[in-house]
C-alpha cells in the first residue's frame, strides 16, 4: 500500500466507477457498488482492495487471493476463483497502471520557490512552478508552467525547459532544449561536454563540443543517467523515450520515438536508434551505427554492426537471437560431451 506520507489516496471508487474509467466489463460481479479503497498485489489484497493478474507465474497467488476484485488478462480468466469479481482486459498491466494514477497522487511541496534557491534575474519561470532548496537557475533560462526543479539541481544559462516537467534533486542540465511533460530523476547529467578527443601518439587534442541536447515531449530519464551534448550536430532524444537508471548516451546519438533503454546501457557517439527500439540491461552499442525501428536487443549484448528494422539480436558480438541460442545449445552439448 502506498505510504500516505508520500502519496494522497483519492479513493475510494466503486467497481462500477472503475469499470467505467477503464472502459472494461465487470464479470462475475454481484455488487458493482462495492467500494475499493486501495490497489494491492494479489497476496496482500483484502476484500476492499483490487489486484491485477497478468502473468501465469502467479497462478497460485491468484487462486488464493482475498481481493475484492481483480483485473485479469483475457486468456487467464479460466484460472479465476469462482467467488472473485473480474475486470477482463486485453492489457491488464497497462489498465492497472492507469488505475494507480487514478487512485494515487504524489504529495507536492507546499513552498513554490525556496528562499535559498538562486535564480538569475533574466530567467523566465512559468506559472505554478516549484523550485527547491539551493537550486540554481542560470541566466536566460526559460522554464514552462507547472514545472518542478528539485533541491540542489542546476539549470545552466540559456537552457529551455517546457511545461509540466519534473526535474528532481541534484540534476545538472546545460546546453539543452527540453520539451513538455519530461521527467528527470535524481543525479542525471544532461548536456555536459562528452568524451571528445582526437587521439594519437603525440597526445590527445580536445574537440570542442558545440552541439546541444534536444529532448522531446513525454520523455522519462532515470537516476544517474548521462546524456552528452553533441559535437557539431545535436544529441536527440525523441518523444516518449524511456531511459532507465545509469544509462550513458554519447554525443550526436539519436534515439527514436518511444524507444526503451534499460539500466546500464551504453551508446557510443553518432549512433542512431529508430523508433520503438528496446535495449535491455547492460547492452553496449558501438559508435556510428544505425539500428532500425522495433529492434530488440537482449541483455548484455554488444552491437558492432548496423541492425535491420524488426530484428532481435543477442550475444557478444550480437547476432540474430535464434542463431545465438543455437550456438549456446551447441556449446553446452560440446561441453557435456568433452566432460564424459
CA distances from 78 to 53, 82, 293 (A): 12, 10, 36
Catalytic residue among 251, 258, 288, 324: 251
In angstroms, what CA-CA distances link 79 with 52, 63, 82, 339?
Answer: 13, 7, 9, 44
Q: Is 251 a catalytic residue?
A: yes
Which residues, other chains included, contact 105 with Cβ-Cβ below 8 Å and sequence gap of 6+?
A: 7, 8, 10
By DSSP bridging, strand 235-237 and strand 213-215 are parallel
Question: Does residue 288 come out as left (phi exceeding 0), alpha (psi in the -120 to 50 range) or beta?
Answer: left
Between β-strands 26-27 and 86-89, what pairing exists: parallel, antiparallel or unpaired? antiparallel
Handedness of CA 149, 154, 158, 159 (dihedral sign): negative
Distance CA 231, CA 4 (A): 46
For residues 85 and 97, is the Cβ–Cβ distance under 8 A? Answer: no
Catalytic residues: 251
Amino acid at each position: 500500500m502506498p505510504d500516505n506520507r508520500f502519496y494522497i489516496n483519492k479513493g475510494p471508487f466503486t467497481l462500477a466507477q472503475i469499470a467505467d474509467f477503464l472502459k472494461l466489463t465487470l464479470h462475475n460481479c454481484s455488487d458493482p457498488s462495492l467500494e475499493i479503497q486501495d490497489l494491492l498485489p494479489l497476496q496482500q489484497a483484502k476484500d476492499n482492495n483490487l489486484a491485477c493478474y497478468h502473468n501465469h507465474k502467479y497462478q497460485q497467488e491468484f487462486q488464493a487471493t482475498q481481493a475484492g476484485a481483480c483485473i485479469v488478462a483475457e486468456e487467464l480468466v479460466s484460472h479465476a476463483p469462482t467467488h472473485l469479481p473480474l475486470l477482463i482486459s486485453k492489457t491488464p498491466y497497462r489498465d492497472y497502471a492507469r488505475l494507480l494514477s487514478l487512485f494515487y497522487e504524489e504529495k507536492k511541496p507546499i513552498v513554490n520557490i525556496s528562499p535559498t534557491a538562486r535564480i538569475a534575474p533574466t530567467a523566465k519561470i512559468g506559472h505554478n512552478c516549484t523550485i527547491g532548496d539551493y537550486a540554481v537557475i542560470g541566466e536566460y533560462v526559460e522554464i514552462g508552467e507547472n514545472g518542478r526543479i528539485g533541491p540542489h539541481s542546476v539549470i545552466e544559462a540559456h537552457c529551455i525547459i517546457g511545461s509540466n516537467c519534473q526535474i528532481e534533486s541534484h540534476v545538472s542540465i546545460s546546453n539543452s532544449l527540453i520539451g513538455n511533460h519530461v521527467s528527470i530523476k535524481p543525479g542525471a547529467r544532461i548536456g555536459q561536454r562528452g568524451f571528445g578527443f582526437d587521439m594519437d601518439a603525440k597526445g590527445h587534442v580536445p574537440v570542442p563540443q558545440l552541439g546541444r541536447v534536444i529532448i522531446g515531449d513525454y520523455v522519462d530519464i532515470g537516476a544517474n543517467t548521462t546524456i552528452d551534448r553533441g559535437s557539431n550536430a545535436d544529441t536527440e532524444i525523441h518523444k516518449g523515450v524511456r531511459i532507465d537508471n545509469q544509462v550513458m548516451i554519447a554525443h550526436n546519438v539519436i534515439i527514436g520515438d518511444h524507444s526503451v533503454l534499460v539500466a546500464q546501457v551504453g551508446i557510443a557517439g553518432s549512433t542512431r536508434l529508430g523508433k520503438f527500439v528496446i535495449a535491455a540491461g547492460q547492452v553496449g552499442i558501438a559508435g556510428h551505427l544505425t539500428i532500425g525501428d522495433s529492434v530488440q536487443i537482449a541483455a548484455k549484448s554488444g552491437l558492432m554492426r548496423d541492425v535491420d528494422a524488426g530484428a532481435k539480436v543477442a550475444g557478444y558480438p550480437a547476432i540474430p537471437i535464434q542463431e545465438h541460442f543455437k550456438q549456446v545449445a551447441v556449446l553446452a552439448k560440446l561441453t557435456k560431451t568433452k566432460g564424459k
